[in-house]
């Protein structure tokens, strides 16, 4: 089964729209935690795009890139939580 048209015309546009909406939340977020959650969502959507691309070209090595991005994002979220805890 050829997934290339489905990926190109359905999945990637939906992920791109989701990134655009999360970016609007990042810019307009009323509080700092809202902005951090939006940034986490953008990172998660980026990982999803990497995974979809890996499936599209049938190369599993790109999933390692997604794992590394997820680990860096997790460390950033922990650092932010530590910052908010110290600020209060």
Structure token pair of residue 41: 């969502």
* Every domain of the chain and the residues it spans: 4-87
Q: What is the pLDDT of residue 2?
A: 83
Q: SS3 sequence, 45-63?
A: HHHHHHHHHHHHHCCCCHH
pLDDT digits (tens, 9 = 90+) for 35-88: 999 999 999 999 999 999 999 999 999 999 999 999 999 999 999 989 888 986
Whether 63 and 54 have beta carbons less than 8 Å apart is answered as yes
Q: pLDDT category, 3, cuts 50, 70, 90?
A: confident
Q: What is the pLDDT of residue 49?
A: 95
Q: What is the pLDDT of residue 1?
A: 73
């Amino acid at each position: 089964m050829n997934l290339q048209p489905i990926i190109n015309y359905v999945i990637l546009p939906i992920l791109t729209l989701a990134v655009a909406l999360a970016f609007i939340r990042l810019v307009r977020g009323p509080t700092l935690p809202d902005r951090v959650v939006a940034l986490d969502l953008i990172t998660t959507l980026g990982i999803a795009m990497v995974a979809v691309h890996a499936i599209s070209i049938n190369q599993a090595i790109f999933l390692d890139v997604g794992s590394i991005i997820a680990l860096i994002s997790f460390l950033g979220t922990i650092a932010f939580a530590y910052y908010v805890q110290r600020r209060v």
